[in-house]
């Protein structure tokens, strides 16, 4: 039973009022709220066994090390990794993608090679490949998005040649909400010898994830979008690929032996985790995984499809609104980007804030996509496990108010 009213009681921040009105948080695509179990798990670490990991033989250090590595194993099971050694903790999905670009890319991409990504990517899955191409002489090509917000698979097929060495694609667009056919993409890419990286920052928190079924080579995602804390992300990679990659950063804990003549690296996954890691954040992420597992990811996905279906119905009643991306709720996530006539999205967000409603306004770190759409910005409402249909009603009413105040 997916009882949203009960779930909401687990999130202290949702119990407050903003501008004298109950808070409506519709910006989970940017960063989700945190349940009390995550907050308490991190607080317990700091209060009871705050110590560095992997380096102390005293009791609380060993307890910290166990908690840190237990969190890694929880994450591995959550995405169905073959081994916990394939799970690398980073700061966020952005760092995970950069790790691949620097560690794998600089050693495997050369002049004449092609990197395929798409027009609907977050900057974090565009800029690293542009920089890699500039350093190596490779070319980045952007798979088009059609007028309905879907990936142009015919163009993808046509561009997929042996010169393509990497396909780096979002699982779910943070603007259009589009869910991409990752299994099909991976199979076709592997047929020409290319590797596949999935930007799972939007998808992993919202739907079941199985890296073995996806047949991808890398998966990047962030803790703060999946009920966990900021400052921790994950890179999953196939062990045989990670084993051949040099470290992204060097220093303490990622070494096996250091002499004045040189160094040798630690085993996976620690060779990619230089220095003191985000220990409390890992503990919090582990607690977030526990919470999502208790809810059931299929239930999470079902709830968001139902809420997005209702949002399309209710928001369609707002005069002048235009929603971008697929209109089939089963083909998209719960991020709903829109414009309202000629009202600037920042003004929309300001009016909604006066009503206690939090939405995002801007280009959402996807400027090339907005350029393609002929827009400078959109407003975006996004839903998660704690959102209710009544909050969609509040959003629609707030948009009506914005149109009355600012519409021309």
d(CA 211, CA 148): 27
Asked if residues 314 and 323 have their Cβ atoms less than 8 Å apart, the reply is no
Catalytic-role residue among 365, 367, 375, 406: 365
Asked if residues 341 and 407 have their Cβ atoms less than 8 Å apart, the reply is yes
Q: What is the CA radius of gyration of the chain?
A: 22
HSE toward the beta carbon, residue 46, CA cutoff 13 A: 10
Kindly give the pairing relationship between strand 164-170 and strand 218-222. Answer: unpaired
d(CA 359, CA 346): 10
Enumerate residues 6+ apart whose C-beta is below 8 A from 408: 341, 342
Asked if residues 227 and 33 have their Cβ atoms less than 8 Å apart, the reply is yes
Indicate if 365 belongs to the active site.
yes
Asked if residues 299 and 339 have their Cβ atoms less than 8 Å apart, the reply is no
Structure tokens at 11: 């999130």
Catalytic residues: 365
């Amino acid at each position: 039973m997916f009882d949203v009213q009960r779930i909401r009681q687990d999130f202290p921040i949702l119990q407050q009022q903003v501008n004298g009105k109950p808070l409506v948080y519709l910006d989970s695509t940017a960063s989700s709220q945190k349940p009390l179990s995550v907050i308490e798990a991190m607080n317990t670490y700091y209060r009871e066994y705050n110590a560095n990991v992997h380096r102390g033989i005293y009791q609380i250090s060993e307890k910290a090390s166990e908690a840190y590595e237990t969190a890694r194993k929880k994450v591995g099971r959550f995405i169905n990794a073959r081994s916990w050694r394939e799970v690398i903790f980073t700061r966020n999905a952005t760092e995970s993608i950069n790790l691949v670009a620097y560690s794998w890319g600089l050693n495997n991409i050369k002049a004449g090679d092609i990197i395929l990504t798409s027009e609907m990517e977050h900057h974090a899955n565009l800029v690293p490949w542009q920089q890699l191409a500039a350093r190596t002489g490779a070319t980045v090509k952007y798979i088009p998005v059609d007028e309905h917000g879907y990936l142009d698979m015919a163009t993808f097929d046509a561009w997929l040649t042996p010169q393509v060495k990497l396909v780096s694609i979002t699982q779910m667009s943070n603007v259009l909400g589009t869910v991409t056919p990752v299994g099909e993409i991976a199979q076709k890419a592997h047929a020409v010898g290319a590797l596949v990286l999935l930007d799972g920052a939007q998808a992993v928190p919202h739907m079941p994830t199985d890296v073995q079924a996806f047949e991808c080579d890398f998966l990047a995602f962030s803790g703060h979008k999946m009920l966990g804390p900021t400052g921790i992300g994950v890179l999953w990679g196939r062990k045989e690929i990670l084993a051949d990659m040099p470290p992204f950063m060097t220093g303490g804990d990622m070494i096996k032996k250091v002499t004045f003549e040189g160094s040798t690296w630690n085993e996976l996954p620690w060779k990619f985790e230089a220095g003191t890691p985000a220990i409390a954040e890992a503990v919090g992420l582990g607690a977030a995984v526990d919470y999502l597992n208790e809810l059931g990811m299929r239930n999470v996905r079902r709830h968001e499809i139902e809420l997005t279906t209702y949002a399309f119905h209710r928001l369609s009643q707002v005069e002048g609104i235009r929603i971008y991306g697929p209109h089939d709720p089963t083909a998209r996530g719960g991020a709903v980007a829109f414009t309202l006539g000629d009202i600037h999205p920042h003004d929309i967000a300001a009016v909604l804030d006066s009503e206690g409603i939090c939405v995002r306004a801007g280009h959402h770190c996807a400027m090339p996509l907005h350029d393609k759409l002929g827009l400078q910005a959109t407003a975006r409402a996004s839903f998660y496990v704690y959102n209710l249909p009544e909050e969609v009603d509040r959003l629609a009413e707030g948009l009506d108010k914005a149109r009355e105040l600012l519409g021309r």
